[in-house]
Structure 1
Amino acid sequence: MKTTIQPRDATINMARFAQWAIAAVVLASTFGCATVSGQAPNPIDPLEPFNRSVFRFNEGVDRAVLRPVATVYRDTLPLMVRTGVSNFFGNLGDVWSLANNVMQLKLQNSAETFMRLNVNTIFGLGGLLDIASEAGIERHREDFGQTLGRWGVPTGPYVVLPLLGPSTVRDTAALPVDHYGDVLSVVHDIGARNSLYALRVVDERATFLRAGQMLDEIALDKYSFTRDAFMQHRRSEVSGGGASGGDGE
């Protein structure tokens, strides 16, 4: 598996997809008998022909590389170890989430995220144990794309990025900032940093192996279901924070 091609951006995409893959499965099971033929072009997806070609390329890479590696990872490592790895990277991600919660002036979410960081880092062995969740302290995931949406930047058209997957114009513009906000980006040892990037991508891919398999089996048009679930989830992430009009098309 190569980790030299924007590994952080790939991780951002995996983190998002792990959340909305389940939603795509639900949509597919609900509307699985529907057909996409004869429908008018979707106004949020003016680049659909290009996006579909990139989607097929990404699916091929996933089948050839990510899915097999994630399957071996899941089947080889005990659940306790995988849970610890997920908790560790989740704790690191809370650092950037805290910054974005502050930038969005979400005071309660900022306070809870700050508490999570301290509790899990100090009492959770550096984040290997998720003590905060057991104590009822909710995780509030935020990225710079959500921050832009909070302050009124429109979503823009749907785009599928090579290797990175589903995105929007707004989220794509935010990716460089998310990259520099990643705690792993400050690790100076290149080998160690790339190894951590790779481990995070594989761990996150392993979390939705079953959901991805169900989607493959149910959806008549996986591209459409993936797009619609992703866009709906991103709107919810922004509007759920109380932003008004920030996620307009």
Structure 2
Amino acid sequence: MMVLQRLAVASLAALALAGCATGPNANPADPLEPFNRGVSTFNEKLDTYALKPVATVYSDYTPTPVQIAVGNFFSNVSDVYSAANNLLQGKPSRAAEDTMRVAINSVLGIGGLIDIATPAGLPKYKEDFGQTMGVWGVPAGPYLVLPLFGPSSVRDTAGMIVDRFSDPTTYISPWYAGLGLQTVRVIDTRAQLLGASSLIEAAALDRYSFLRDSYLQRRNYLIHDGEVPDKDGGAPDGKQDDNSAPAQPSAPEPATPTTPASPKAG
């Protein structure tokens, strides 16, 4: 609960500061850009001097089977709130598949350390409450960069806080055990993005704009399940396979750290 409370306070503080970040030179499409760029600079420094070095050591020296098991564990945790959000979005079959994934991986996969559900043919979905609100028609609001957590929006920030309540790791006690588990989660997530960060550094002329546009496009794609309406309000372009989605620089499962690219927290 301590982690949840700190997340909520940090997010609300960021929203309050964002209200003071507009000005005459603000981009109409990104009214919080002055604030966002400042937070992005802070996040990049934090990543350069702390997150990336630790993640690199973790990636280089932790045995691959251990890294896979850690990733599987947190992926299994994310299936819990993915199931809830699929149900809230009116997708009962997907919610049932998510629930089956959790049951199979938790029991036969030794607490989720082994992913048995995927080879068994159960697809993995990555639904969060931000997407759920988007399906309900709640507008995204301004693009917002959060300290540590990175690219988001006003809607997705609120959704991230809600998702924490359905994340089983939130309720681990004592508090320092939960904090240690979340630290491992941050390091594992960052380690999985080491290759993506190198690609962005080589390709992006304006890192901030690249991450912003990639994040917003990816979120729009996910909310519409690949059936994104055209700009004229016409029919969707057609159902696309999730693997054909535009590359997203970072992952956004709910409650993941700032990375050079946008993620929550499969």
TM exceeding 0.5: yes
How far 1:181 sits from its partner (Å)? Answer: 1.7
Aligned residues: 215
Q: Distance in 2 between matches of 1:199 and 1:7?
A: 17
AA at the equivalent of 2:165: Y
Indicate if the aligned counterparts of 1:155 and 1:168 stay in contact, CA closer than 8 A: yes
After superposition, residues 17-32 of structure 1 pair within 5 angstroms as: none
Aligned pair partner of 1:127 in 94, 103, 112:
112
In the alignment, structure 2 segments of 5+ residues that lack a partner are 11-24, 234-266
SS in 1 for 2:151: strand
Closer, same or farther: CA 68–51 of 1 in aligned 2, 3 Å? same
- Residue 126 of structure 2: SS of its match in structure 1? coil
Aligned to 1:203: 188
Does structure 1 residue 232 correspond to structure 2 residue 226?
no
1:141 to 116, 122, 126: 126
Aligned to 1:194: 179
Which whole-Å deviations, capped at 9, do the CAs of 1:6-48 have from their partners, x for residues lacking one? 46999xxxxxxxxxxxxxxxxxxxxxxxxxxxxx975431111
Matched-pair identity in %: 48
Tell whether the 8 Å contact from 1:97 to 1:113 is kept in structure 2 after alignment.
Answer: yes
- Name the TM-score, length of structure 2 as normaliser: 0.75
The one of 148, 160, 169 equivalent to 1:163 is 148
- What corresponds to 1:22 in structure 2? none
Task: Identify which of 201, 204, 224 aligns with 1:216.
Answer: 201
Indicate the structure whose relative CO is greater, using CA pairs within 8 Å and at least 6 residues apart.
1
Contact 2:73 2:112 in 1 (8 A): yes
User: Offset at 1:93?
Assistant: 1.1
Superposition deviation, residue 83 in structure 1: 0.3
| Residue aligning to 1:64 | 49
Contact 2:98 2:124 in 1 (8 A): yes
Per-residue deviation at 1:206?
0.3
* Structure 2: distance between partners of 1:4 and 1:134: 33
CA distance in 1, matches of 2:160, 2:115: 27
Distance 1:9 1:116, change over 3 A: farther
Equivalent residue number for residue 26 of structure 1: none
Q: Secondary structure at the match of 1:133?
A: coil
- Stretches of structure 1 lacking an aligned partner (at least 5 in a row): 11-39
Q: Deviations over 1:65-109 (max 9, x none)?
A: 110110111011011110000001110111111111111111221
Report deviation, 1:176: 2.1
Structure 1 residue corresponding to 2:98, chosen from 104, 113, 120? 113
Alpha carbons 1:94, 1:117 under 8 Å: kept: yes
Which of 79, 101, 112 lines up with 2:86 in the alignment?
101
Q: 1:9 to 1:86 in 2, by over 3 A?
A: farther
2:4, 2:170 within 8 Å by CA — same for their partners in 1? no
Question: Which of 153, 160, 164 in structure 2 is aligned with 1:179?
Answer: 164
Greater helix fraction, Structure 1 or Structure 2: 1
SS of corresponding position for 1:160: strand
In structure 1, the residue corresponding to 2:137 is in which secondary structure?
coil
Counterpart CA distance in 1 for 2:227 and 2:95 is 15
1:76 and 2:37 matched: no
RMSD: 2.6
Aligned to 2:118, the other structure's residue is in SS state helix
Q: Residue 87 of structure 1 corresponds to which residue in structure 2? A: 72
Question: What is the CA deviation profile of residues 202-249 of structure 1, one whole-angstrom value per residue up to 9, with x for unaligned ones?
Answer: 00110010110121122111111100000001101101177989xx9x
